[in-house]
Chains A and B, each alone.
Chain A
Amino acid sequence: KAGVTQTPRYLIKTRGQQVTLSCSPISGHRSVSWYQQTPGQGLQFLFEYFSETQRNKGNFPGRFSGRQFSNSRSEMNVSTLELGDSALYLCASSLGRGAATDTQYFGPGTRLTVL
């Protein structure tokens, strides 16, 4: 099976712009989670989507949003970019049974740099 894919792999934006990142989960996986990774804050949970609905949300401002399509592909959007949004954004997919035992499989990430 193909793994989790994320596009694009690298992005450079300027402050105030908006950006959309894309994630394609492993075939058959219905849950997609997004994480932000920075040297200062580590890995932080953004949100989880399951069956096109946001099921869990982390503690991020409303500038961060996402959606999931009927084929389980997901996008996340960041509006009005700030310098502090520079990070590696990781997407993970899982079966989505809602069980603690569900393993999340991670994509390679999108490196966002905000200038």
Chain B
Amino acid sequence: AQSVTQLDSHVSVSEGTPVLLRCNYSSSYSPSLFWYVQHPNKGLQLLLKYTSAATLVKGINGFEAEFKKSETSFHLTKPSAHMSDAAEYFCVVSVSNTGNQFYFGTGTSLTVIP
């Protein structure tokens, strides 16, 4: 069975400080992992994805994530938070038995304090 656990429902950081959003996954197959961001009343935008090529993945807007198989983790980081980073972040695991079905975490709401 596949599942994703986002360990924090809400994270608050000051502008200019590092961001860490935590994600653990469970998968019976070799997974692909994604991070998406959702701004209020908007659809989901892809930040980055892991597909077994490199364990450290760089995404848009300065975000990156590291795949750690031994810890079944895929945490999202950014060295310096910006006000525009305030949004909901979703960790997603995808497997392909038939088609590619996405399994979403419950989301982490990021607040950036000026």
- Bound-state CA distance A62–B36 (Å) is 29
| Cross-chain contact B96 with A99 (CB below 8 angstroms) | yes
Q: Is B113 an interface residue (CB 8 A)?
A: no
Contact with A along B21-60 (1 / 0, CB 8 A): 0000000011110101000011111100101000000000
Contact with B along A77-115 (1 / 0, CB 8 A): 000000000000010101011111111111111010000
Q: Is B73 an interface residue (CB 8 A)?
A: no
Contacts of A94 in B (CB 8 A): 100
Q: Is A42 an interface residue (CB 8 A)?
A: yes
Partner of B101, one of A43, A48, A106, A111: A48
Partner of B94, one of A55, A100, A111: A100
Contacts of A56 in B (CB 8 A): 98-99, 101
Q: A42-B106, A43-B90 known; A100 and B44 CB under 8 Å?
A: no
- Bound-state CA distance A102–B92 (Å) is 12
What secondary structure prevails in chain A residues at the interface with B?
A: strand
| Cross-chain contact A108 with B42 (CB below 8 angstroms) | yes
Q: A43-B90, A45-B101, A106-B36 known; A100 and B96 CB under 8 Å?
A: yes
Q: Is A33 an interface residue (CB 8 A)?
A: yes
Contacts of B106 in A (CB 8 A): 42
- Bound-state CA distance A103–B96 (Å) is 12
Contacts of A24 in B (CB 8 A): none
Q: Is B87 an interface residue (CB 8 A)?
A: no
- The chain A residue sitting closest to B31, CB to CB, is A100
- The chain B residue sitting closest to A102, CB to CB, is B100
Q: With A100-B95, A101-B32, A103-B34 given, name 9 new contacts (CB 8 A).
A: A33-B101, A35-B104, A45-B103, A55-B98, A56-B99, A100-B31, A106-B45, A108-B43, A111-B41
Question: Can you name 23 A-B pairs with beta carbons within 8 Å?
Answer: A35-B104, A42-B104, A42-B107, A43-B90, A45-B102, A48-B101, A56-B101, A90-B43, A97-B100, A98-B96, A98-B99, A98-B100, A99-B96, A100-B29, A100-B95, A100-B96, A101-B49, A101-B94, A105-B46, A106-B44, A106-B45, A109-B42, A109-B43
